[in-house]
Chain A
């Protein structure tokens, strides 16, 4: 029996091995993983320009089941992480700077300042907290960031925000963890491992533009990694895993643009595109040339684009000039591609469009004892109201008083439809406040809550306590009504920047905004005091107690005058001769 089975297996293996030759395998069999890369250049109303890179590796394999050991385009470090820790979705973003929604418009994908990590685990994971701790440690090693500081004092479990972006068949929020480290710095050492996860590295394709010296000389730099399961095709019967690496950078009009509104790839990145990544199945550059106020185009791009694409993105009709790097006609005339954007006529600064939803947050009050966190949310839509979920995570050392929470819209109180508040436990858990608020049309909503600052133990202060302590950005998730209804589109055909959030209904689009992080000063002790106290106490003890001790225990003895040494006797002889009394 065994021998026959072994012989049959051997025969099968031989057939398989000698069957399709290497040449035919490439053409016939479909690839199991694919890479698409894309760069979107959008000029912003203030004269700055935003560049968003997206690299998407899609792998038609189920990472959870079966022992996958052959990795091609999908990086092995992340694949093994997902399989070993039972991760369903992972989103990690490292950001420097702040996206000014009021002046720049809605972001395609925003991240809060610092490091943000949110993860959905599989229902099979029994100890979610342990898996979360291990995950943050492993990620801190991969990305050279201090993510190991994520622990229970800055992790929360949101109940209404951060629903999964990938396929899900149940949303038990106990499998979700969210943490933000607002103090985290992003620099070249975080960009280097991020670039190494790309299949072509930074040697070919769009990634050659990613040079640290230009990317960090900007107003906003955000790099993110998103892993999630997606539908393999339109019928959605099988699961593929998608890894998206996004990098958004906003180049400042004054520092990088030298005061001129004309931009080009060379001016932004000090490099141009020379060839494509051979592993990419699609490689495109999109330039946003949407006309404002329905007029004819204001922006001129050169060289001529290979095509023009129109899409409804974030509820509005937009036009893009597309450069397909894989089309042979692009590199015909010159070896390198330097996309240039020029304005046809000077832009009027008064016609800056205001986004439908934007928010602001600041700390009010004075002194080092109490304060107030104020959040202002603006709904500038003329006639539509929509709900927004506000998620606030406040560290435990700012003691929030929930009875002082007030939400005022247009002078009247606005009662939220859903509130979830989890109070902090000292040194164990932060505050979590989640509210679902209806924003009436054309209104400003002001949310205020008062807090009291706690005094920390002297070993808990960081080495630079006078810098202040950060409070992470609060998150606003909303379904904003669209200007133009969106049709259901095929995910594979649309550009990457339009397919990040799964859209269910064309009349509104989902947006996630972050407010500013706050910096508060806690009452800080003077750290030289222990040294001063020791010196003063020792001096006082030495002087007072020492004197007392001497006074009490010193005894006086009468001393016989000694006869004196030789020198004294000689001196006495001389004195006797002189007639002076002896010593």
Chain B
């Protein structure tokens, strides 16, 4: 989730996209990823290289790529939508790609970045989500059995305050800085004119580039990723709610996935099925007279088109009250015997 708007927050979009890229590379398909970007940097008019988002200076690595699917963009990234995605309370017409379709055997990775403070994370410069709300949302997920294990990574200023209030089991959390510290950005690119990445996510990306789907690296290595000498802030983590020990948890448990492949040695003949299918096609009735296309600008028809009369409704509300008042005043002044003047 990237929660920041405006061009100078380019680095937050680059952060999110680099984690998205790593996760896709390690095997998680787009149908299992909900990507929320609060602003469009790639096709922003201020981007000198359209359709690209770079993470390394001198434009070495384009994390936007050619195959990106953003589920929530621009104004859709709000606290309400985020919490609805987490808890599953989504309006019925929401498409599948915008839902978190997880069950009690799913491991969920949540990565958030943006501007934050002690106990809150700012969404699009207009609203914020507090650590208490987030903890309650996770508890709702736990009650509804929407996750098996959850890894929460946050890269904002004072990020550790966001995981202080968690109380549901099986949550492991990482943050880029402690309470009272700011997370700093990595490096600017003079061609693009803004800072490209935040330090913590930059080193996490370098760490993840070494991981492949079969690697045995565990969480303890991820905790060591950005020491104070490189990151300037002190990354923190929280594992007390997690049931397994961190050294037994593989990175690929959260960042990668393996698809079920069944290998069969029998040959399946497809042609016969196709022939059978096609012949079962219902016979279509042909029209008796030729169909025709509509006229694009039927001037005569338009001029003589009468607008549809609105259905007559009895007057309600104010008009009825006004008439009742007028009639009452009339009868009050003149008395009932003047009713014949009305009819």
Given A65-B284, A164-B293, 18 additional A-B pairs, CB 8 A:
A13-B276, A66-B281, A66-B282, A144-B69, A144-B73, A159-B305, A167-B292, A169-B292, A188-B42, A188-B43, A236-B292, A239-B291, A389-B302, A418-B303, A418-B305, A436-B302, A463-B124, A510-B297
Chain A neighbourhood of B68, CB < 8 A: 188-189, 192
Give the distance in Å from the alpha carbon of A101 to the alpha carbon of B124 in the complex.
37
Interface hits, A114-170 → B, CB 8 Å: 133-134, 137-138, 140-142, 144-146, 148-149, 159-160, 163-169
Residues A235 and B290 in contact, CB atoms below 8 Å apart = yes
Chain B neighbourhood of A231, CB < 8 A: 290-291, 293
Give the distance in Å from the alpha carbon of A149 to the alpha carbon of B72 in the complex.
12
Interface hits, B37-68 → A, CB 8 Å: 40, 42-43, 49-52, 64-68
12 A-B pairs with CB atoms under 8 Å apart are: A20-B275, A134-B93, A137-B93, A141-B94, A146-B76, A159-B305, A167-B291, A235-B290, A387-B299, A436-B303, A464-B125, A504-B295
Residues B69 and A146 in contact, CB atoms below 8 Å apart = no
B residues engaging A (CB < 8 A)? 5-6, 40, 42-43, 49-52, 64-71, 73-76, 93-98, 124-126, 271-272, 274-279, 281-282, 284, 286-287, 289-299, 302-303, 305, 307
Q: A462 within 8 Å of B by Cβ?
A: yes
- Looking at A185, A387, A389, A420, the one whose CB has the most chain B CB atoms below 10 A away is A185
Give the distance in Å from the alpha carbon of A193 to the alpha carbon of B275 in the complex.
31
Residues A140 and B95 in contact, CB atoms below 8 Å apart = yes
Q: A62 within 8 Å of B by Cβ?
A: yes
Q: A360 within 8 Å of B by Cβ?
A: no
Give the distance in Å from the alpha carbon of A213 to the alpha carbon of B75 in the complex.
25
Give the distance in Å from the alpha carbon of A65 to the alpha carbon of B286 in the complex.
13
Residues A187 and B293 in contact, CB atoms below 8 Å apart = no
Minimum CB–CB distance from A211 to chain B (whole Å) comes to 7
Residues B293 and A216 in contact, CB atoms below 8 Å apart = no
Chain B interface helix/strand/loop/mixed: loop
Chain B neighbourhood of A165, CB < 8 A: 293-294, 296
Residues A236 and B291 in contact, CB atoms below 8 Å apart = yes
Among B76, B126, B284, which residue has its beta carbon within 8 angstroms of that of A148?
A: B76
Residues A502 and B293 in contact, CB atoms below 8 Å apart = yes
Minimum CB–CB distance from B42 to chain A (whole Å) comes to 5
Residues A16 and B279 in contact, CB atoms below 8 Å apart = yes
How many residue pairs, one in A and one in B, have C-beta atoms under 8 Å apart?
175
Residues A387 and B51 in contact, CB atoms below 8 Å apart = no
Residues B284 and A62 in contact, CB atoms below 8 Å apart = yes
Chain B neighbourhood of A264, CB < 8 A: none
Given contacts A17-B275, A216-B50, A479 and B303 within 8 Å (CB-CB): no
Residues A16 and B275 in contact, CB atoms below 8 Å apart = yes
Q: A527 within 8 Å of B by Cβ?
A: yes
Chain B neighbourhood of A134, CB < 8 A: 93
Interface size counted on chain A using CB atoms at 8 A: 74
Residues A463 and B287 in contact, CB atoms below 8 Å apart = no
Q: A4 within 8 Å of B by Cβ?
A: no
A415-427 to B contact mask, C-beta < 8 Å, 1/0: 0011010000000
Q: A497 within 8 Å of B by Cβ?
A: no
Residues B51 and A149 in contact, CB atoms below 8 Å apart = no
Minimum CB–CB distance from B76 to chain A (whole Å) comes to 5
Residues B290 and A479 in contact, CB atoms below 8 Å apart = no
Residues B271 and A133 in contact, CB atoms below 8 Å apart = no
3 residue pairs, one from A and one from B, having the closest CB atoms: A141-B95, A22-B271, A502-B293
Chain B neighbourhood of A380, CB < 8 A: none
Minimum CB–CB distance from A269 to chain B (whole Å) comes to 13
Given contacts A144-B69, A192-B66, A463-B5, A217 and B51 within 8 Å (CB-CB): yes
Residues A237 and B291 in contact, CB atoms below 8 Å apart = yes
Chain B neighbourhood of A387, CB < 8 A: 297, 299
Residues A189 and B296 in contact, CB atoms below 8 Å apart = no
Residues A464 and B93 in contact, CB atoms below 8 Å apart = no
Chain A neighbourhood of B51, CB < 8 A: 187-188, 212-213, 215-217
Give the distance in Å from the alpha carbon of A133 to the alpha carbon of B276 in the complex.
38
Residues B69 and A163 in contact, CB atoms below 8 Å apart = no
Minimum CB–CB distance from A569 to chain B (whole Å) comes to 48
Residues A96 and B5 in contact, CB atoms below 8 Å apart = no
A229-241 to B contact mask, C-beta < 8 Å, 1/0: 0010001111100
Given contacts A65-B282, A142-B95, A477 and B303 within 8 Å (CB-CB): no
Q: Which residue of B lies closest to A160 (CB)?
A: B302
Residues B43 and A166 in contact, CB atoms below 8 Å apart = no
Minimum CB–CB distance from B262 to chain A (whole Å) comes to 23
Q: Which residue of B lies closest to A12 (CB)?
A: B279
Q: A25 within 8 Å of B by Cβ?
A: yes
Chain B neighbourhood of A192, CB < 8 A: 66-69
Q: A403 within 8 Å of B by Cβ?
A: no
Chain B neighbourhood of A185, CB < 8 A: 40, 43, 73-74
Give the distance in Å from the alpha carbon of A201 to the alpha carbon of B310 in the complex.
49
Residues B75 and A189 in contact, CB atoms below 8 Å apart = no
Chain A neighbourhood of B6, CB < 8 A: 464
Q: Which residue of A lies closest to B279 (CB)?
A: A16
Q: A186 within 8 Å of B by Cβ?
A: yes
A265-281 to B contact mask, C-beta < 8 Å, 1/0: 00000000000000000
Minimum CB–CB distance from A188 to chain B (whole Å) comes to 5
Residues A463 and B66 in contact, CB atoms below 8 Å apart = no
Give the distance in Å from the alpha carbon of A380 to the alpha carbon of B40 in the complex.
40
Give the distance in Å from the alpha carbon of A238 to the alpha carbon of B326 in the complex.
64
Residues A96 and B305 in contact, CB atoms below 8 Å apart = no
Residues B43 and A216 in contact, CB atoms below 8 Å apart = yes
Chain B neighbourhood of A164, CB < 8 A: 293-294
Residues B50 and A217 in contact, CB atoms below 8 Å apart = yes
Residues B281 and A159 in contact, CB atoms below 8 Å apart = no
Chain A neighbourhood of B293, CB < 8 A: 164-168, 231, 502, 504
Give the distance in Å from the alpha carbon of A169 to the alpha carbon of B275 in the complex.
34
Q: Which residue of B lies closest to A161 (CB)?
A: B297
Minimum CB–CB distance from A33 to chain B (whole Å) comes to 12
Q: Which residue of A lies closest to B91 (CB)?
A: A137
Residues A141 and B66 in contact, CB atoms below 8 Å apart = no
Residues B50 and A163 in contact, CB atoms below 8 Å apart = no
Q: A470 within 8 Å of B by Cβ?
A: no
Q: Which residue of A lies closest to B307 (CB)?
A: A420
Q: A171 within 8 Å of B by Cβ?
A: yes
Give the distance in Å from the alpha carbon of A464 to the alpha carbon of B8 in the complex.
14
Chain B neighbourhood of A168, CB < 8 A: 293-294
Residues B295 and A163 in contact, CB atoms below 8 Å apart = yes
Given contacts A62-B284, A164-B294, A187-B40, A213 and B52 within 8 Å (CB-CB): yes
